[in-house]
Structure 1
């Protein structure tokens, strides 16, 4: 074989290999992720640096725009309290070039009684829990305040049911029997199972988004009905991960093949903390910025 032809052949094989490699190493899509901005015009309280959240949120929005993410998720507690805090934050996220998906947190309802029902509208949410899909990945957004003593008006049946649930949990000395926690009501739980069934039928991989964690067991921050929801999710092999905020400390646990990832609260200290998440056909890569941690989530981990 003449040498010039051999070099051309090798060059062509190299291009083909490089093209195949780039296809397998490029993400299907990316999204920005942050949680617990928890802003208020208040003095620092312990590790919570409330006013610094304005600077950190601005930095995150700029980074998400520079990296051209497909969308952004905030995992709850956009404010600490006071409905006017939403106005300040909504002005800061206005330059964001990609869609923002909000998850409801407990502090988002730290407003006056007559303002509670307005919170989803202020956060531009049509529904308190919802779902969306991209390229064979299903995102299921849960409302962990559905069953809570603060997320519904005081004279509602939901508030009465939540009050009784909290009494029952305290009677059992449950560590998560805290007024700042909540749970999923029966209607939402049925909806969740329906969405999981649909995702399985469509061969979609699933990421669950919620403000409250489900693990570790016997922790004071988890959903009130943590065991029930965890057991439900673990019946579906296509559920890769459950992503949450609320605790303010970054952590990663696995249980029966599902990754449970808690993200760092942006309100903590002066260091920022957020992430850009890369979605691949079979795994998820979390690129942490500043104080947030890098992680890779694969389905076979934790089994």
Structure 2
């Protein structure tokens, strides 16, 4: 089926919802004081596999500014380490096209040149990154239609080989448009071999049923890669119980004939191009964060799908983003959450001080610009130095979370 180079595989661009409220869920246990005395109830314990949580509007208020407090570095600030971030490359050997609505141009071939430019920059940095986080959608879904999935993946992976540091790959919806989960597990996009295992804590070992792991790039800092398509109808055998379970979840929340359409949905994230986190993965995340709390580590979480409505179009959120937030907000160690998927980026700091950074996508970046960043980590903050469409951001730690050597 030809769409005239308009991808049907991505969220429509016009669902930008700058909701200025927080939600309250039954059974919520935590409170967060906000400016003006308002209170938010953020902790959600209900699971997607159970009766859906009843959620209602609690109050209308300005929660957070889109721009972080810039802050300054003191003369005593010492650079600890750096890491690179890039997302939604979506390479394909095709002429430029547009998204499904025809409102945003996509530069399929030029995305590879953007990647090459990012790699050249990282290789030449005076303080080179210790690793790069690739946040998903490395090649475009059109490759599957053109029977060019393996060839395009090889082209991009060969380009990544020019990078002098390790790359941690996250899986997005376009990975599953091109490949099955079994294929990805045995491919070069599986970087689970880079994980760090915590001796004597088997509960922090991820299951083979989902693609997630954690690693330590620097003492007292732990990075966690999540599988946002652990619950998904993409990339799995349609005869499998897992597929049937996920299809049931999707249809319970989305009665539309076209499951990629959010039309009329009160929960617009329940579309086919999104996915969610299984309870098993959330339990594992909770165990890792518990370990990090106990050992006073700073944690960076990475996922293709965002989880915080104030930083993203709601149509781009993970299905059960509230469940993920509930786990994260019950711990002290999480500094920031990096995601892709939205293409136009976003930022917000939630009531618990976690910074949610949605990175701008390479695929919709004009040839005369760029879309990647380097995060420089200091004892009291992280500084995202963006290139091209990616803005600079200061990611301050909460005062009680300031790291001491």
Q: TM-score, normalised by structure 1?
A: 0.87
Which secondary structure does the structure 2 equivalent of 1:147 belong to? coil
- 1:74 equivalent to 2:134? Answer yes
What is the rounded CA distance, in whole Å, between the counterparts of 2:364 and 2:331 in structure 1?
A: 34
1:7-32 superposed Cα distances (whole Å, 9 cap, x missing partner): xxxxxxxxxxxxxx76x323110011
Shift in Å, 1:110: 1.1
Shift in Å, 1:154: 1.8
The answer for the alignment partner of 2:106 in structure 1 is 48
- 1:263 equivalent to 2:329? Answer no
Give the unaligned 5+ runs of structure 2: 1-73, 99-104, 144-148, 193-207, 256-264, 400-405
What is the rounded CA distance, in whole Å, between the counterparts of 1:210 and 1:219 in structure 2?
A: 16
Shift in Å, 1:195: 0.7
**Quick check: 1:245–1:264 contact (8 Å CA) kept in 2?**
yes
What is the rounded CA distance, in whole Å, between the counterparts of 1:268 and 1:232 in structure 2?
A: 33
What is the rounded CA distance, in whole Å, between the counterparts of 2:302 and 2:360 in structure 1?
A: 15
- 1:173 equivalent to 2:261? Answer no
The answer for the alignment partner of 2:221 in structure 1 is 137
One of 296, 305, 319 as aligned partner of 1:224: 319
Shift in Å, 1:160: 1.4
Structure 1 runs of 4+ with >4 Å offset: none
The answer for the alignment partner of 1:252 in structure 2 is 347
- The 5-angstrom pairing of residues 39-118 of structure 1 reads 39-46=91-98, 47-67=105-125, 68-81=128-141, 82=143, 83-84=149-150, 85-111=152-178, 115-118=180-183
- 1:163 equivalent to 2:259? Answer no
What is the rounded CA distance, in whole Å, between the counterparts of 1:179 and 1:163 in structure 2?
A: 9
- 1:298 equivalent to 2:365? Answer no
Which secondary structure does the structure 2 equivalent of 1:25 belong to? coil
What is the rounded CA distance, in whole Å, between the counterparts of 1:234 and 1:210 in structure 2?
A: 16
Shift in Å, 1:231: 1.6
- Select the structure that is richer in helix: 1
The answer for the alignment partner of 1:3 in structure 2 is none
Shift in Å, 1:250: 2.0
What is the rounded CA distance, in whole Å, between the counterparts of 2:185 and 2:113 in structure 1?
A: 24
Which piece of structure 1 moves more, 125-134 or 32-41? Answer: 125-134
The answer for the alignment partner of 1:4 in structure 2 is none
What is the rounded CA distance, in whole Å, between the counterparts of 2:161 and 2:393 in structure 1?
A: 29
One of 177, 180, 184 as aligned partner of 2:277: 184
Which secondary structure does the structure 1 equivalent of 2:215 belong to? strand
Which piece of structure 1 moves more, 141-150 or 214-223? Answer: 214-223
Which secondary structure does the structure 1 equivalent of 2:290 belong to? helix
Which secondary structure does the structure 1 equivalent of 2:119 belong to? helix
Which secondary structure does the structure 2 equivalent of 1:110 belong to? helix
Which secondary structure does the structure 1 equivalent of 2:315 belong to? coil
The answer for the alignment partner of 2:27 in structure 1 is none
What is the rounded CA distance, in whole Å, between the counterparts of 2:181 and 2:324 in structure 1?
A: 25
1:192-231 superposed Cα distances (whole Å, 9 cap, x missing partner): 1111111111110111100001121681000000111112
What is the rounded CA distance, in whole Å, between the counterparts of 2:162 and 2:173 in structure 1?
A: 26
Aligned pairs, number: 278
**Quick check: 2:384–2:394 contact (8 Å CA) kept in 1?**
yes
**Quick check: 1:149–1:163 contact (8 Å CA) kept in 2?**
yes
**Quick check: 1:250–1:293 contact (8 Å CA) kept in 2?**
no
Which secondary structure does the structure 2 equivalent of 1:220 belong to? helix
What is the rounded CA distance, in whole Å, between the counterparts of 1:148 and 1:63 in structure 2?
A: 36
Shift in Å, 1:300: 3.7
